[in-house]
């Protein structure tokens, strides 16, 4: 049986206007993919009725509610029809100083409210891959029971490849995939400067899908990525 390839679009803080978001949603609405727009565009039903894609979020807090200005809770996301949530992205770790302890709490909260977490892990320097991957998996998954761990999707993103255009060679990425597979049986995605020309390279070496950043903001390019990877 052919395994299902999971493709996730991370729009990050894009596009800048609702009219541009509407156009982008319309361009990808027939894709079998997960779309993670900014929070303000999460109510995609307004302009995307009949869409085939699944809705995801880029982050969440670990509390259900409370005095946390500027945050959004997993319960709020669930109530809006969100199914997936990205947690621990390298940009959250770097720019907002999210620690593995914070990421661990977010994972537990997301699971509590029935969301599927996409846990991002990855090294800043190529030579540190195995050490960093091992440390992040141990600390991020600490205290989560086995049946819940299995629900988590892991996204391997070498930080040095994100947004740089210097994508990680698929054979090099395959080594990190093997290290992850030695520790978990989870679905594992690859992310980091993915485009339509190289998208199938990663699924061919064993990745279960892709986490796509900048290329997902171009509907035509993202459609190519999804179709190439899934076929």
Hey, what's the torsion of the CAs at 78, 82, 84, 90, to 10 degrees?
-100
For the question of residue 231 being annotated catalytic, the response is no
- Catalytic position from the list 91, 98, 123, 157: 157
For the question of residue 157 being annotated catalytic, the response is yes
Burial class (CB in 10 A: 0-12, 13-18, 19+), 131: exposed
- Catalytic position from the list 61, 89, 91, 98: 89
Catalytic residues: 89, 157
């Amino acid at each position: 049986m052919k395994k299902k390839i999971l493709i996730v679009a991370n729009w990050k803080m894009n596009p800048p206007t609702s009219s541009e978001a509407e156009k982008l949603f319309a361009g990808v609405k027939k894709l079998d993919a997960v779309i993670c727009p900014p929070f303000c565009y999460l109510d995609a039903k307004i302009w995307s009725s009949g869409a085939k894609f699944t809705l995801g979020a880029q982050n969440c807090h670990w509390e259900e509610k409370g005095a946390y200005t500027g945050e959004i809770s997993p319960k709020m996301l669930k109530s809006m029809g969100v199914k997936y949530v990205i947690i621990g992205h390298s940009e959250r770790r770097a720019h907002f100083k999210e620690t593995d302890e914070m990421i661990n709490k977010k994972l537990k909260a997301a699971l509590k409210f029935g969301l599927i977490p996409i846990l991002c892990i990855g090294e800043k320097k190529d030579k540190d891959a195995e050490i960093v991957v091992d440390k992040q998996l141990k600390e991020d998954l600490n205290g989560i029971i086995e049946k819940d761990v299995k629900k988590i999707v892991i996204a391997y993103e070498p930080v040095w490849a994100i947004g740089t255009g210097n994508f990680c060679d698929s054979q090099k990425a395959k080594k990190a995939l093997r290290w992850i597979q030695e520790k978990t049986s989870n679905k594992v995605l690859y992310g980091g400067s993915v485009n339509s020309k190289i998208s199938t390279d990663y699924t061919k070496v064993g990745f279960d899908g892709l986490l796509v950043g900048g290329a997902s903001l171009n509907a035509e390019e993202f459609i190519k990525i999804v179709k190439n990877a899934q076929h």
